[in-house]
Structure 1
Amino acid sequence: MKKNRTLIFGLLILMLLATLVSCAPARIHSGSSTNEIDLNVNATLDRFTRDVKGASEFLASAKGVLIVPNVIQGGFFVGGQYGEGALRIGGNSVDYYSLAGGSFGLQVGAQQKDIILVFMEKEALDKFRSSTGWQAGVDGTVAMANIGAEGSVDTTKIRDPIVGFVFGQKGLMAGVSISGSKFTKLAR
Structure 2
Amino acid sequence: MKRTVWLVTFLLTFFIQTAYAESKEVLNIKIYETIKMFDKEVKGGTEFLNRAKGYLVFPSVYKAGFGIGGEYGEGGLIVNNKIIDYYRTVTASIGFQIGAQKKSIIIVFLTQRALDEFRNSDGWKVGVDGSVAIVKWGVGEEINSIEFNKPIIGFIFGNKGLMYNLTLEGSKITKIKK
Q: CA deviation at 1:187?
A: 1.8
Structure 1 position 88 matched with structure 2 position 78? yes
Q: CA deviation at 1:52?
A: 1.3
Contact 1:76 1:107 in 2 (8 A): yes
Q: Deviations over 1:7-36 (max 9, x none)?
A: xxxxxxxxxxxxxxxxxxxx8416222111
Amino acid at match of 1:177: T
Q: Deviations over 1:128-172 (max 9, x none)?
A: 111110000000000001122237535432231000000101110
Structure 1 position 78 matched with structure 2 position 92? no
In 2, the alpha carbon distance for the partners of 1:147 and 1:99 equals 25
Which of 143, 150, 170 is matched with 2:160 structurally? 170
Which of 48, 52, 57 is matched with 1:58 structurally? 48
Contact 2:35 2:46 in 1 (8 A): no
Amino acid at match of 1:29: T
Which of 46, 51, 62 is matched with 2:36 structurally? 46
Amino acid at match of 2:18: H
Identity %: 42
In 1, the alpha carbon distance for the partners of 2:28 and 2:165 equals 28
Amino acid at match of 1:107: Q
CA separation of 1:185/1:29 partners in 2, compared to 1, >3 Å: closer, same or farther?
same
Which of 117, 139, 143 is matched with 2:133 structurally? 143
Which protein shows a greater Rg?
1
In structure 2, runs of 5+ residues without a counterpart are: 1-15
Question: How many pairs are equivalent?
Answer: 162
Which of 12, 29, 45 is matched with 2:18 structurally? 29
In structure 1, runs of 5+ residues without a counterpart are: 1-26
In 1, the alpha carbon distance for the partners of 2:35 and 2:95 equals 32
Contact 1:85 1:98 in 2 (8 A): yes
Contact 1:147 1:154 in 2 (8 A): no
Instruction: Give the equivalent residue in structure 1 for 2:11.
Output: none
Q: Deviations over 1:81-105 (max 9, x none)?
A: 0000000001100000000001111
Q: Deviations over 1:33-66 (max 9, x none)?
A: 2111111101100011012112122112100010
TM-score by length of 2: 0.86
CA RMSD, Structure 1 to Structure 2 (Å): 1.5
In 1, the alpha carbon distance for the partners of 2:46 and 2:32 equals 13
